[in-house]
Structure 1
Amino acid sequence: MPPPEVSFSELQLHGKATVERLHRTPGQALLVRRRDAEDLVLTTAARAELEHTAASVTTRMFVALMQHDEGVRELVTDVLPEVFPWVAFLSRDEVREFVLELVATLRAADSLHNPAPVVQVIQSWRHTAEVLADPDLAAVLTTDSDLDLGPVTRPGLP
């Protein structure tokens, strides 16, 4: 369930009342809507630390299980389609590779307190599945070719 919403101007004009409302919400979070920039989530530092600790412990336990037991790795590979249905377009070996990369990235990202690399791994593998789901595109991208069109320039550059 998403957190209750407040406008940025409400936070500015009625800061104390907004913070009191924050403490009364079940998740101790408010979504602060902004017209001119990205929305914000307002929470307490203690709540943010609790959430980070819970995620970190869960990640470390999951990584440890994956590193110590081949059966767990196989089980995770088997149940992955329930979490990411698009892995149906990947081969069994690609699913295993995704699992190993995801676990390694979860561990590294947790050590940096930055979930962005985890999302990047998931998005990259999802894009791979999208390509493989399209037979025409997959054929173009998996066909060996001696054609080299040279270096690619950055977008927006001549």
Structure 2
Amino acid sequence: MSIVSEVQWSELQRDPKSVAAIAEQHEVRVKRRDGADLLLVRADQHANRHSGALMAARALRSVFRHVGPDVIADALKDEFPWTAVLPESDRAEFVREFVQAIQASADLGQWSLLGQTVHEWANTAIVHADPDLHRALTTPITTRDLDSVPPSEDE
């Protein structure tokens, strides 16, 4: 676990050298009243973190290739229990997209891509877990269905 010191924005403005000295040792969270906090970190530490994440993603990709999608799906069920409600084909697709998202996130240094992938698949699981919702979203729309739509207030 990394150490993070907190300073106020005004402290950074008033005494930037002392804040920089803290940042030489570890991360500094700059608290602001008028916006989101900022994180001050040395560029070499940031690069090392990105490099480490990329290595971990590549190692995971290699492990995933050797163990196969079924083993990965079972392992991911521990972290994402909702995968149990996905049909087999969707579970396999989730595993494939999860592995790709790890690699892409590490390459780009943008982990929100992995978060988005998991979020979208969790929503897919919600649909599969609710039979009425699943039926409503997967039943083809017919012309008869369109006739029952009430006219808008503008008409």
Normalising to structure 1: TM-score of the pair? 0.75
Q: Match for residue 74 of structure 1? A: 70
Matches within 5 A, 1:1-158: 3-24=4-25, 28-67=26-65, 69=66, 71-147=67-143
Q: Give the whole-Å Cα distance in 1 for the aligned partners of 2:136 and 2:4.
A: 45
**Paired letter, 2:128:** L
CA 1:33 to 1:89, structure 2 compared with 1: closer, same or farther past 3 Å? farther
Deviates more, 1:75-84 or 1:126-135: 126-135
Higher Cα radius of gyration: 2
Unaligned runs of 5+ in 1: 150-158
Aligned-pair identity (%): 33
Task: Give per-residue Cα distances to partners, 1:1-57, cap 9 Å, x unaligned.
Answer: 683332222222222222223344xxx212222222222211111110111011000
Normalising to structure 2: TM-score of the pair? 0.76
**Paired letter, 2:81:** P
Q: Across the two proteins, how many residue pairs are aligned to each other?
A: 144
